[in-house]
Amino acid sequence: MLMEPFDAAALVGTRVGSATLLAELARGSMGIVFAAFQHTLKRRIAVKVLPDALADEESSRLFIQEAEAAAGLAHPHIVPIYEIGREPGFHWFSMQLIEGESLDRRLKRLAANPVPGRRLLPSGEALQLMQRVLAALDYAHGRGVVHRDVKPANILVTSGSALPVLTDFGIAALRSPGGDALKTPRGSPLYMAPEQILHPAADERVDVYAAGVLLFRLLVPGLPLVAHRSTEELLVAKSSGKPVFTRRPSEVNPRLHRDMDDLIAQATAFRPAERFSSCRHFAEALARYERRHGGSG
């Protein structure tokens, strides 16, 4: 979901902390991202802005939480946060500028290829990408942060090396020892685990579920979803416990080994207890699949 119309050009040239906003890069439901120049270190960075005109108390709280959650994480596949602040009319925080594109944009670009055989990521590349994303999620979980919104739009892919970088911790659940996750039911319907809909105080296995859906999405030309006429109907189907996918991965992409069917079925199981117990275990299963079958698909 995109933010309501806002004249981002009015903020170009504004000084925020040690940087000056240069140009809008992207916008989503939780803010507008600008390219900026950091004067102290003479480098280009990214700055995310939440204008007061588009914010309420809840979105402002989540915006600050996003910066604080990600700032406590130091991992090669999680975007680093530099600074947080407020100027008249908006909140902001700065972070590394990732030279590349979102995974969502890359998948759409591939899907438009006139050659059918080139409309997906090579399976080997998809498996490597997912193992890195899972490593980043496992690292975050070990530090009490559950992302809760893992999807292609929230993964940046670097130019050249094509490495994934997890971003947008805007609805992350922060957990303390013995504490509960945040109890606000939020997320992207396609990637939301059933318990996010039914019981918002969910644990890190919601990220296992989302990663399973993402893996399925990477390996097939189109997800074989149960028939639904609206987002609400999809959420009802998910929360009912009935199968959400009408075909197995290897039925949609015959080049995949049937072992992949079992991996994705386990990751996206309705009951959290039937999923991989952690993103690390999921990544280890993918690594075993890759050793046995290579980049089949």
Please give the positions annotated as active site. Answer: 149
Contact 62, 17 (CB under 8 A): no
Give dist(CA 178, CA 173) in Å, integer: 14
The CA-atom distances, in angstroms, between 228 and each of 209, 231, 234 are 20, 8, 6
Give dist(CA 173, CA 181) in Å, integer: 5
Give dist(CA 264, CA 277) in Å, integer: 14
